[in-house]
Structure 1
């Protein structure tokens, strides 16, 4: 009989989650294969759940890869239910159309949540309370995620929710990376963004889902996957041929995991992609705020809010609500999320000259 381990002896270790097939070196085909293996493993290890699993699906590259891989593995593991996917937007929004296409391709049980700017404006104060932040771009994107999480909780039995958060930071997916002065600068900013995730995108994703009792899982932030991707040569990770996340797209090229037009779909701001082609959520929000904040109030913003003073009426409007619920807590948001290497006073991708939403392509 094997005796119990004695505390004075060298501890015994067991191999855990060994991955087969990983190659060495930085040859393109090797790197692409490793990305696929590590990403699939990142999704697979998160399949363990006592509650039903679902997935947010915007129709963009990141959420589509997560959803497609999730459905594939769920079928292999013979989960006793189909994977539910969820999208939110106006009837004619590009995200809803793209998500519908992906869902049909992968065979998920798809749900579409209708979004109106009026509903978004009504939810804004609730979202600020849950986020405990006044960062402008984080709030804009949080409204849609908050409302879709509410739908999931009230209308379905999915509780464990997969999402594509973290990919933009890790794989240099933001539009402004096209303006990076060098691969080194882009790589350094990617690390900065990852270190600040808890202030912005992960804060948004975690708080808006948790507000409705959902558990979020984010495969792109798997420690093995991120460690490998960040170890790749800086030149491999930058946008190429006018396309951001080029390496990630190349890794899944030709596999038919998701439709080709989705695989090569350009980055679209979530808060823009979910709204009408006729009028964006951004534009509707600006119109509402224009009637709530006057020029003289904005001129006095530096005096009223000396820490992180807002420079736009939208920033002023959001800050007022934040201070109402969290007085003297402005340092919770140490700075605003803003694009790099571009002169900008507003974080919206829509204000950047290099931004081209779906309807303009």
Structure 2
């Protein structure tokens, strides 16, 4: 696992500024503390920071082919590299290392841009082919590994593993993108391909860029998508057996490493499934790590301990204090742009704990997206069943009016919190789902933003991100469509971003076997009623795991990896909230309605409303702006 950077002159004529390339590379030192190298030639510079995991002795980068006409910088792991190496040797390619990086290099020589179709793993890489005068960038199927880029006004193309790496380049403007600001306050993160900055972009999952000398535009090209193509299935018992077989094969393929390896264990279904599978592979006892809280409402360590004892793992747990809010400013530095998922705090802590014992850790991420495990899927399908039975001509005015009139009752029992449900039913499936997952729904953002900022948006709405993906969806099944939207937005933009930055902050490689693309392809084709059945999410996944995990682990109420935000913002962070939301920095941006910010703060402090999600989202934006001012 590594950090990569590059500068490419699209005119093919100019030299590369070595000092600028060095700054880009060293900004990502944490991603690869073991080694760092630069390579420059006419019109090209590449840099690499290495975290050694496979081929410790000879896997240095940038890496060249035999005649040095092709060079690669690579971040990730290709799990089928041994099979590909054998195939490429059969085609006459000679190998000087045992690394997967050299496999990808020769795969480019053999198959060109289509080499990505042969790779199984998590990766982001850049290749310069001097003979073809081509720069090639690619990102893995699901988006486990990141890639950022920009085409500068002067014709230089820059790329890197983190946004901070390309933002060190003096020619890249730090002008904020108003549409990205709208996206952030809706989603809590900035979905691909945008970043918070006007001329900086993310390479989307399953996409590639082919850039030739003389090109004046950069075009992302999709090379893979979640297919949702129905697969043949037998009985429910047959499907359950095949689920386990496929999980086992995926986990096995990702246990290859020349350094200590372990797993995260939250006590939830997905991480427990990965740990159980690892433990059954006759390997040495698995190293497992858990983070708990001293607040019982947020603590899952009892379930993690149960699984650890069942499978005799070397288990390490750490209890985090309920006032562990000291990472606020550190998070801003890690994520480089506004990011409001507060579970980044415990994720950072569990990566910190894991790195004390291992260099590679397996994670259970992806189970909810694959098998429809989130509660919001159940809510969305329940709303859709109502929506389907009522004509739009009646549904929109009736439920739209109910949504406007019904009070926001955060204080009430859940059964009485109908405002969001009414508002969702008044919309179509995609708009309703967007409304349900929004950190700040439309009505809140309409109050939050100033008239001046709304004018700058020129009618742009964050829901268009989901609407655009829905137009390209390979499925029209309602549940599958919602899962597809999460694969395109929430999974890469929030979950995988959170894990990548938190793990790389500690030079820890995290692998995600439940997001192996061959596994995802097969699971996407399973009948939707095997994923969400009778109100039970992950139905077939849980059934398949019944012989391996206890009923309590499989069927307890999902807790999530969260922190006591509401209490923090009324207690130890109260003054910081006031200073941030009501201070001059936000006021000077012209983005916000200052009176509404004051209402949010005063309502929350008084206990009349729980505005913690709204306040935290603004707080993290303000922290980002402060960091930018210091840059």
Check whether TM > 0.5. Answer: yes
> Does residue 101 of structure 1 match 2:403?
no
> Which residue does the alignment assign to 1:228?
522
> Does residue 267 of structure 1 match 2:558?
yes
1:116 CA displacement: 1.0
Q: Choose between structure 1 and 2: higher helix proportion.
A: 1
> Which residue does the alignment assign to 1:86?
289
> Which residue does the alignment assign to 2:535?
242
Quick one: distance in 1 between partners of 2:337 and 2:235?
Answer: 43
Quick one: distance in 1 between partners of 2:265 and 2:302?
Answer: 11
1:38 CA displacement: 0.9
> Which residue does the alignment assign to 1:252?
545
Quick one: distance in 2 between partners of 1:249 and 1:302?
Answer: 50
Max radius of gyration: which structure?
2
SS of residue paired to 1:224 = helix
Q: TM-score, normalised by structure 2?
A: 0.43
1:198 CA displacement: 2.1
SS of residue paired to 2:577 = coil
Aligned match for 1:145, one of 347, 356, 359: 347
| Structure having greater relative contact order (Cα 8 Å, sep ≥ 6) | 1
> Which residue does the alignment assign to 1:117?
322
Gaps of 5+ in 2: 1-89, 94-109, 111-118, 121-230, 386-475, 601-613
1:139-168 CA distance string (max 9 Å, x none) = x11111111222232x32x11101111112
RMSD: 3.2
> Which residue does the alignment assign to 2:568?
284
SS of residue paired to 2:576 = coil
Contact 2:291 2:301 in 1 (8 A): yes
Structure-to-structure mapping, 1:50-61, within 5 angstroms: 50-61=258-269
1:92 CA displacement: 5.9
SS of residue paired to 1:306 = coil
Deviates more, 1:59-68 or 1:176-185: 176-185
Contact 1:165 1:205 in 2 (8 A): no
1:32 CA displacement: 1.4
Structure-to-structure mapping, 1:1-361, within 5 angstroms: 24-73=232-281, 75=282, 78-79=283-284, 82-91=285-294, 93=296, 94-118=299-323, 120-136=324-340, 138=341, 140-153=342-355, 155-156=356-357, 158-180=358-380, 181=384, 184-196=477-489, 197-238=491-532, 240-253=533-546, 255=547, 257-272=548-563, 280-285=564-569, 287-294=571-578, 297=581, 304=589, 306=591, 312-326=614-628
Change in 2 beyond 3 A, CA 1:45/1:296:
closer
1:112 CA displacement: 0.8
Contact 2:264 2:361 in 1 (8 A): yes
1:169 CA displacement: 1.7
SS of residue paired to 1:122 = coil
SS of residue paired to 1:258 = coil
Q: Choose between structure 1 and 2: higher strand proportion.
A: 2
Q: TM-score, normalised by structure 1?
A: 0.72
Q: How many residues align structurally?
A: 294
1:24-58 CA distance string (max 9 Å, x none) = 43432222122111111110100100111111111
Quick one: distance in 1 between partners of 2:535 and 2:583?
Answer: 39
Quick one: distance in 2 between partners of 1:176 and 1:134?
Answer: 24
SS of residue paired to 1:117 = coil
Deviates more, 1:43-52 or 1:261-270: 261-270
Contact 2:290 2:304 in 1 (8 A): yes
1:235 CA displacement: 2.6
SS of residue paired to 1:291 = helix
